[in-house]
Amino acid sequence: MILFQCDYNEGAHPKVMEKMLETNMEQTPGYGEDAHCRHAAELIRKACCDDTLAVHFLVGGTQANMTVIDAALRSHQGVVSAQSGHINVHETGAVESLGHKVLSVPHKDGKLDAGQVEQLYLAHINDDSFEHTVQPKMVYISNPTEYGTLYSRKEIEDLSSICRKYGLYLFMDGARLGYGLAAPDNELDLPFLSQHCDVFYIGGTKVGALFGEAVVIANEELKKDFRYFIKQKGGMLAKGRLLGIQFETLFEDNLYMEISKHAIRLAEKLRSAFLEKGYPMLVENRTNQIFPIIPDAVLEKLGEKYGYCYQERVDETHSAVRFCTSWATLEENVDELIEDLKNF
């Protein structure tokens, strides 16, 4: 079966694997204090045009989300998220398990807007019994969202402004950030994110690394004691260099962006094929996640050969599903799927 159901089925980019093999027998300081982690952090700070940023490497997205959120919040505080947000629906209550409520709100194609955040915050502080309810203290967004949509510069500026006005932290989940930055309609870049987010992370697991996420902290309050939280949450690897080596490789010679562009090019090709066949999109986007609405009878045939994710039922005979491309997607597999689409 040819899998298009997620964007991290494969291992790691060959250059990453080569570097890991090349350094396999190195003896270095542990727990992320080795030269590879230091160099990777320097490369990321350079890419963000800010040498004051704190950069920490964790293993995966759920671990990064729960560690950042727990480090930022006190026990009576919660994090605002779209109802579709990863921390709300796909992390088994990891945030709640640490004592922080996820304050979920309606979304538009996976996105929050500044007006929603302000309304929620003011409703809380203007409540006569505010101390009886969870205090919103952080806003969680992802880019791309769970629907593959992107935030514009204006949307991020507005969210950042509202958060700073009311003393909230703005946290961006960047598990698929490379695919967002490489999209043809993207307006963001790393310097912009470091200026407008208190903390965000650069996803490696889904974008060429074997595993790993790079947490980037701009807010001075959040930098303090963060390594304690990494250790407490089981994220401080003795062989921390394995994370540093991967991001060191991904951020040398613009590899991170180049492999992301590959995924976007193939997604554009596949998206066009679905549209030409007459299958509309559940959500319009230009990233690596594609959400065609397809007749159930056709999906049954496709499922015999291709792996995809079910998204939602649209009507009695049609369903929306998700196809993903990645840095490792083969063009011949995309072409094969397109050819089969023509025959169904």
- Per residue in 7-32, pLDDT (tens digit) is 988 999 999 999 999 999 999 999 99
Average pLDDT over residues 296-320: 96
Model pLDDT, residue 105: 97
Phi, psi values for residue 308, rounded to 5°: -145, 170
- Examine the pLDDT at 100 and tell me if it is beyond 90: yes
pLDDT-based confidence at 297, cuts 50/70/90? very high
What does the pLDDT look like over 207-262, one tens digit per residue? 999 999 999 999 999 999 999 999 999 999 999 999 999 999 999 999 999 999 99
What does the pLDDT look like over 143-192, one tens digit per residue? 999 999 999 999 999 999 999 999 999 999 999 999 999 999 999 999 99
What does the pLDDT look like over 322-334, one tens digit per residue? 999 999 999 999 9
What does the pLDDT look like over 16-74, one tens digit per residue? 999 999 999 999 999 999 999 999 999 999 999 999 999 999 999 999 999 999 999 99
- Examine the pLDDT at 1 and tell me if it is beyond 90: no
Model pLDDT, residue 79: 98
What does the pLDDT look like over 128-151, one tens digit per residue? 999 999 999 999 999 999 999 999
Distance separating alpha carbons of residues 304 and 1, to the nearest angstrom = 8
What number of helices (H) and strands (E) belong to the chain? Answer: 15, 13
Given a contact cutoff of 8 angstroms between Cβ atoms, the answer to whether 210 and 218 are in contact is no
Model pLDDT, residue 9: 87
The residues, any chain, with a CB within 8 Å of residue 293's CB and separated by 6 or more, are 279, 280, 281, 282, 314, 318, 319, 320
Could you identify the residue written with the tokens 């930055």?
181
Model pLDDT, residue 53: 98
Average pLDDT over residues 273-283: 97
Model pLDDT, residue 136: 98
What's the fold here for domain 2-7+255-343? Aspartate Aminotransferase, domain 1 (3.90.1150)
The residues, any chain, with a CB within 8 Å of residue 65's CB and separated by 6 or more, are 86, 87, 91, 94, 95, 140, 173
Domain range annotation of the chain: 2-7+255-343, 14-250
Q: What is the pTM of this model?
A: 0.97
Pick the CATH number of 14-250 from 3.40.50.300, 3.40.640.10, 3.40.50.2300, 3.40.605.10: 3.40.640.10
Task: Count Cβ atoms within 10 A of the Cβ of residue 5 and give its class: 0-12 exposed, 13-18 middle, 19 or more buried.
Answer: middle
Model pLDDT, residue 344: 83
